[in-house]
Chain A
Amino acid sequence: MAKKGIVVSKHKYTLSEKLYYPEILKGMGVSIRHFFANIVKKKYTVTLQYPEQKESYAERFRGKHRLMTREDGSLRCVACMMCATACPAECIYIEAEDVGDSLVEKRAKVFVIDELRCIFCGLCVEACPTDAIRMDTGEHVEPEYTREAFIYDKKKLLQNSGRSVAIQGGDPDYIHKN
């Protein structure tokens, strides 16, 4: 059985196309129209002057990490290691220390995230039971001159910090009971 082919019709050139020049003039007309429209009013231009004008990221964009604080300004992190365990890139390093508080018990003495290894999956945020780590800064990790500068320590992570209103321990009546 003969295979059925598709007949592709060849473009028939009109006289003005064969002569080149009328078409070239038409094309130049388009160029010139865009040129003047853009030079006078930036009519078609969509360029953003980047470092000065920024396009904001989507609301749920996973960006630079930040650590949240409690009402008294102390770090919310209780050094439970959940995020470090969940992290597929193994880029979170935490050293715990004793707080001497029977309810909170621990806090992070060292909290380091290597942003070069991070794959921005957001699993650390999901894992955290105390809403201590977030990626909702709305900016990406900035470029740096050295690799060391990408290793964010506690100080750097606290730069964009904010107070989280969720109450530690999950029990809303915790403060009143004691």
Chain B
Amino acid sequence: MEKIVINPVTRIEGHAKITIHLNPDGRVSRTHFHVTQVRGFEKFTEGRPYYEMPAITARICGICPISHLLASVKACDEIMAVRVPPTAAKLRELLHCGQFIQSHALSFFHLSAPDLLLGMDSDPARRNVLGLLDKYPDIARDGIALRKFGQCVIQRLAKERVHPSWTVPGGVNAPLEPGAREEMLKELPGAKAIARRTLALFKSVVDEFQEEIENFGTDPTMYAGLVDHGGRLQLYDGRIRFMDSEGTVLSEVDTPASYADYIGEASLPDSYLKAPYYKPAGYAGGVYRVGPLARLNVADSCGTPEADHEFGEYHQRFGRVVQSSFQYHYARLIEALYAIEKAEMLLSDPSILGKHVRAKAGVNALEGVGIAEAPRGILIHHYRVDEKGAIQWANLIIATGHNNLAMNRSIEQVSRHFVDGSRLKEGMLNRVSAVVRAYDPCLSCSTHALGQTALRIQLIAADGTVTDELRT
């Protein structure tokens, strides 16, 4: 029996296992995507004061804590039934831009660029950010610089990079210093130049990936993402828009609290990751995707000049509704540019320096729902409290959850196309993990597990023996 173990290539955030089952003739019969580790936090939060939720939930994810913070404080705002001061809302959005920039930069340069630039079949030992640094030092340096810019935005606002406590229910806890604003505005053009360069680079290589584009989860699905009243891309606050695979808008969720009318949650066998679906279409037909690809599909425009230009070109090349999950990469880069432009707009608005940044109140409503886009897609925090403000129940729906069904399908599709059991090649399994990376799932937070874990792919022969295993 042949058994190859490829170990370790750490390029994914989270913990999951993919099993690929083969027919006796060595062809793929079916695939399974399981998320195996769970350390529930629901029990832990029961009875805690609601205003601790932002800090608690931000700790379930080290990669996009700010998205959790924002969804959580928005849910708390609702429990307090306050209107967040406009300056505070802008500052939160600015913080969110910083998060998108750093997260998208990480995803693209550290997790995906090695595959894209060094090649899917290149030496796995070098197919990482160090290999990239070796062969394309300028690109790798760009990646580091862009990520740093996003982190600096966060740091200047929140004074703390990883789990800022600056975002609080009712607003933020300190206004923006004029000096910090100046510094951000000074660094911004450099970041914008990187985003432009990277997009140009991506566009120059994208055509080399025809086979991947055609096989990386091209099954049409619905899409969901936040937009404003004008249909423009929104990251911090907006209405969830659902669109079908043809580009028809199916519905828009007016108030956060009514999300449950549109989103059902199914439990899957052998996986702790729940599978949300578009309720009106039912479980089988309601598969939708979220995240960069979905956001750029549902939005009519971005609302910032350069990103809109790229948005136009992107849709011209790949159609009004872009179906291939491979294009998550492309969409992510457009969004990075958008986030930089949006940050610039927010910083240029004089009211960003306003001093009134926090509304205070006690418990005025017993339920609160907060919805924001995380870099990987829609994030929903839903809490119920008693009159004293003690959490009675909490539900989080996370980007990777929304994508669960679609990701399962993509894995199956990629496996069928690239995996052939009679010949084992590293590049095949790498493509399977690459499709997972295209979705950029954040698995530790999807299962509310604490800490970092990894992806395992197993190839299982018809007689049940494991013939190959890859850990990333």
Are both chains from one complex?
A: no
Taking Cβ atoms with an 8 Å cutoff, the residues of B that contact A are none
